[in-house]
Amino acid sequence: MDEAALRRRVEAIRWYHAIELRPGLRTPGLDDPRDRLAMLRLPDDLHGRDVLDVGAWDGFFSFEAERRRARRVVAADSFAWNGANWSTKEGFLLAREALGSRVEDADVDVMALSPSTVGEFDLVLMLGVLYHLRDPFGGLERVASVTRGQLILETHVDCTYTRRPAAALYAGHELRLDPTNWWGPNPEAVVAMLRAVGFGRVEIVSRDSTPYRLARAARRLVRRERVWQGRVAVHARKS
């Protein structure tokens, strides 16, 4: 595909992820996932591993896993691809084509994940998904059922003022004016849920610092974010 044609096709899509398709050509995404790579502590070399990216959207992390030499990568999504929201699957499909990628796609909802629908994986990525689930516990059970190795989970958290497992419920538009945001568990609740669904080893590998949360709350006051909200990345294994 020549450069001009690719740019025209990129401009026709509303992107969520900023993805570099060619040197000097990056999709105009709302989110630049490169900012989260250090927080996630994704292994530099995924050689020989099968990877599932749950809630892949435009596929940045799927393609990144492939770039890190994963043996097989499956991008799974439903909500961001089915056109019911503002997004579609077109971004993922174009990125895969432009990158010459072999990442597979699975149109499947989180609540439909099972070994029979997608198989089992050495590494499962669940990034920015948990707080969108009306049933986060059930979603984690589904994710655990397809994880034979490691889960890397990244999520919004709330109620960080208490060390007791707790969660905030957003029944309307309380979080970023987005009705698809449902829950804000605190880090302790995330760890407790993961242990309850069968992960024996759970470690919080990154979390927002208090100064960072204060700075972000000041910048995003219009979105009503609070000092006790933030993000965490968690690594979990079954044994």
Q: What is the spatial distance between Cα 176 and Cα 222, in angstroms, rounded to a whole number?
A: 9
pLDDT exceeds 70 at position 226: no
Q: What are the tokens at 65?
A: 């896993």
Q: What is the pLDDT of residues 130-179, one digit of tens each?
A: 999 999 999 999 999 999 999 999 999 999 999 999 999 999 888 877 88
pLDDT exceeds 70 at position 216: no
pLDDT for res 55: 98
pLDDT exceeds 90 at position 218: no
Q: What is the pLDDT of residues 100-128, one digit of tens each?
A: 999 999 999 999 999 999 999 999 999 99
Radius of gyration of the chain (CA): 18
pLDDT for res 220: 52
pLDDT for res 40: 95
Q: Is residue 71 part of a domain?
A: yes
Report residue 234 CA to chain centroid gap. Answer: 12
Question: How many domains are there within the chain?
Answer: 1
Q: What is the pLDDT of residues 45-62, one digit of tens each?
A: 999 999 999 999 999 999
Q: What is the spatial distance between Cα 211 and Cα 120, in angstroms, rounded to a whole number?
A: 39
Task: Compute the average pLDDT of residues 78-107.
Answer: 96
Q: What are the tokens at 28?
A: 């105009």
For 178-193, letters b (16+ CB in 10 Å) and e give eeebbbbbbbbbbbeb
Angle among Cα 202, 204, 208 to the nearest 5 degrees reads 160
Taken in order 93, 94, 95, 97, is the CA torsion positive or negative? Answer: positive
Q: What are the tokens at 195?
A: 């242990």
Q: What is the spatial distance between Cα 218 and Cα 220, in angstroms, rounded to a whole number?
A: 6
Q: Is residue 15 part of a domain?
A: no
Q: What are the tokens at 94?
A: 């174009």
Comparing CA positions, the residue from 118, 97, 103 lying closest to residue 63 is: 103
Q: What is the pLDDT of residues 179-210, one digit of tens each?
A: 889 999 999 999 999 999 999 999 999 986 55
Q: What are the tokens at 87?
A: 């997004």
pLDDT for res 75: 98
Give the helix/strand (H/E) hosting 138: helix 136-145
pLDDT for res 1: 75
Q: Is residue 134 part of a domain?
A: yes
Strands 201-207 and 72-77: unpaired
Q: What is the mean pLDDT of the chain?
A: 92
Q: Is residue 193 part of a domain?
A: yes
Q: Is residue 221 part of a domain?
A: yes
pLDDT for res 176: 75
Percentage with pLDDT > 70 across the chain? 92
Residues whose CB falls within 8 Å of the CB of residue 12, separated by 6 or more in sequence, listed in order:
none
CATH code, domain with 175: 3.40.50.150
Q: What is the spatial distance between Cα 120 and Cα 137, in angstroms, rounded to a whole number?
A: 19
Bridge partners, 231 (sequence order): 156
pLDDT exceeds 90 at position 6: yes
Q: Which domain, by its residues, includes 54?
A: 34-237
Q: Is residue 89 part of a domain?
A: yes
pLDDT for res 225: 53
Q: Is residue 104 part of a domain?
A: yes
pLDDT exceeds 60 at position 213: no
Q: Is residue 12 part of a domain?
A: no
